[in-house]
Structure 1
Amino acid sequence: MQLGKLLGISWIALALACPLAQAAAPARPYQLEGTEVQTIPSKILHRDYEIFVSLPPSYATSTKRYPVLFITDADYAFPLIRSVNRRVSDHGKKLEEFILVGLSYAKGDDPVHSRNRDYTPTDTTGNSSERPTGQAEPYRQFIEKEVFPFVAANYRADMSRKVFSGHSYGSLLGLHMLLTEPQMFNQYILGSPSLWYDKRVMFDMERSYAASHKDMPAQVFMLIGSFETVKPQSRNPRYNKESDMVKEMKDFEAKLKSRHYPNLSVHSEVIQDEDHLTVFPALITRGLFWSFASK
């Protein structure tokens, strides 16, 4: 007490003055600056969906319109793409600015159920009690007829320059759109496409498209990790156990090129030392430079 008296303050006052003795301030959620969450009630799907929107740094001080990148699995991919873009763009010197739109899952749905239902082109559950799959076409219509008009009406978006990106089932959805309405997007960044799905049904869809079309107006960039193949002799657990997704992607690329569509550009890349779960950051970085590299 002598020290407290000498300083003219009590030990209680000392404790209040000490930061370690004070209670921590109430925590607040982390927010991404310059982002918005919008809800779109779908009349087509009879469900509500959220979209995440990130506007470019110059948006508030300009009057220009920006190209738009639409990404599936937004809960994971949206913050990652936003961070990668800001890290590598060097204030617009390396990458052109764009509006990022994240396509999230149906509100109230389990994310796995939502993506399995909305991103797959055919129903593989039959009459079983499993949750249905195979609603990629109505989901495609939701994007085209409800998401696109919403974005066009609420943001300075250049809807003549739309880029799609997805990974795994997200790329399966992208391939469905490519083989249904290829002009829906100008460019497709497709990572680790699940071409094994439903006994390689996308190869059947490709044959059907080729039988009735003379052109496929789109630019396609497919990427995959080098471990997404099958090597039974290897003990490395990063290799796929069943599906040789690398071969399937190369086969699909070769099939598209064999059609000689006058306005189709197809390119693929195998990214070394990446597997199905680790490849996305590397592939989206390459995809951003492919679509938005400054001239």
Structure 2
Amino acid sequence: MNWKQTLTVVLLSALPFMASADNQEKPTLAATGSAHYRFERLNIDSPDGERHYRLDIAIPDGTAPATDYPVMYLLDGNNALAELQDSWLGELDAGTPPLLVMIGYDIEGTYDGEQRTRDYTGTTSRAFLDLIETKIKPEVQAHYAIDLNRQTLWGHSFGGLFVLSALLERPDAFQTWIAASASLWYQPMTFDNGMALRKFPEGTTRTVRLIRGEREGKPPIAQFDGGSPERRKAMQAVPSDANRLLAEHLAILPGAEASYEQFNGRNHGQMFSTALHLGLRRAAGLPERP
């Protein structure tokens, strides 16, 4: 099938990003303090009360911008807080430092594979998107002055999968979408002109950034036990450069500014911090590299 006509990408949950033991043990900036941001925490429950989320909020310490804060919502929030470096936050003073909303789980460590798989993949991801739109965003907006025209959604791995799914499901939710290491093999999803043109809001532009490490690869799909032989065959058929092809496809659609970049020498896990640093700078309106 010609991907330019209909690009069927099996949106992948690559091997879940595993937080390192070091990240689980070392104090975060929320505990040690930052020279540039202060930290607060909000707790959110799912509508049925069965799932418990932790929002770690990082607020710039400087003078508030005249037109309210740009905001960056980060998936895998426990991991994001563990990886956050104060030197990165200091760089943001050269632009408009964004409010950071790190959406995590109310757990002791930094990683919960079962919960993130449920929230970021499959049909249940729509419920998580609804939670962001109907509970998390209103709670944040009730506490902080947010510029609704400068909202970024960031995600890595399964989170990158969620970013791309949410882009087509509800493209008016954010203005900037950053999908890092979105391993495209887990669930079928068709990106074609008809779908995108029907859903992208008229008169607006959505910025979509896809990034990936040079050393990333597919997991051993032949051993994957989460689906039928047909599904494993579809996973195996996903091209190794699917992220690039998807970015090129989105770039030709009206209402989208899409780009792709590969980072040499980096593997799947290393891309988490690389993408986090890049995303912070973009959300602040700065060049992605210092």
| TM-score of the superposed pair, with normalisation by structure 1 | 0.70
**Other-structure match for 1:195:** 184
Cα distance in 2, alignment partners of residues 50 and 192 from structure 1: 24
- Given that residues 168 and 196 in structure 2 are in contact (C-alpha distance below 8 angstroms), is that contact kept between their aligned partners in structure 1? no
- Given that residues 163 and 189 in structure 1 are in contact (C-alpha distance below 8 angstroms), is that contact kept between their aligned partners in structure 2? yes
- Given that residues 229 and 246 in structure 1 are in contact (C-alpha distance below 8 angstroms), is that contact kept between their aligned partners in structure 2? yes
**Other-structure match for 2:154:** 165
**Other-structure match for 2:273:** 281
**Other-structure match for 2:250:** 256
Change (3 A) 1:247 1:115: same
Cα distance in 2, alignment partners of residues 157 and 211 from structure 1: 28
SS at match of 2:241: helix
Cα distance in 2, alignment partners of residues 45 and 181 from structure 1: 24
Of 214-223 and 157-166, the range deviating more from structure 2: 214-223
User: 1:52-91 maps to which residues of 2 (within 5 A)?
Assistant: 52-58=56-62, 65-81=68-84, 83=86, 85-89=88-92
1:13-50, Cα deviation, whole Å (9 max, x unpaired): xxxxxxxxxxxxxxxx7714321121112226742211
Cα distance in 1, alignment partners of residues 56 and 156 from structure 2: 17
- Measured after TM superposition, the shift of residue 183 of structure 1 is 1.4
Change (3 A) 1:32 1:205: farther
- Measured after TM superposition, the shift of residue 105 of structure 1 is 2.2
- Measured after TM superposition, the shift of residue 58 of structure 1 is 1.5
- Given that residues 151 and 175 in structure 2 are in contact (C-alpha distance below 8 angstroms), is that contact kept between their aligned partners in structure 1? yes
Cα distance in 1, alignment partners of residues 201 and 144 from structure 2: 32
- Measured after TM superposition, the shift of residue 189 of structure 1 is 1.2
- Given that residues 171 and 200 in structure 2 are in contact (C-alpha distance below 8 angstroms), is that contact kept between their aligned partners in structure 1? no
The amino acid of 2:244's aligned partner reads K
- Given that residues 179 and 206 in structure 1 are in contact (C-alpha distance below 8 angstroms), is that contact kept between their aligned partners in structure 2? no
% identical aligned pairs: 23
**Other-structure match for 1:225:** 213
Tell me, which stretches of 5 or more residues in structure 2 are unaligned? Answer: 1-26, 219-235
Change (3 A) 1:194 1:229: closer
Change (3 A) 1:100 1:79: farther
Tell me, which stretches of 5 or more residues in structure 1 are unaligned? Answer: 1-28, 123-133, 231-241
SS at match of 2:172: helix
Larger % of strand: which? 2
- Asked which structure has the greater CA Rg, the reply is 1
**Other-structure match for 2:116:** 115
Query: Number of matched residues?
Result: 235
Cα distance in 1, alignment partners of residues 127 and 142 from structure 2: 22
**Other-structure match for 1:50:** 54
What do you get for the CA RMSD once the two structures are aligned? 2.9
Of 278-287 and 188-197, the range deviating more from structure 2: 278-287
- Measured after TM superposition, the shift of residue 68 of structure 1 is 0.6
The amino acid of 2:214's aligned partner reads S
Please state if 1:292 is matched with 2:284. yes
Cα distance in 2, alignment partners of residues 285 and 108 from structure 1: 24
1:152-196, Cα deviation, whole Å (9 max, x unpaired): 001122233111100000011101110111110110111001211
Change (3 A) 1:58 1:256: same
Alignment counterpart, residue 170 of structure 2, candidates 173, 181, 194: 181
- Given that residues 228 and 244 in structure 1 are in contact (C-alpha distance below 8 angstroms), is that contact kept between their aligned partners in structure 2? no
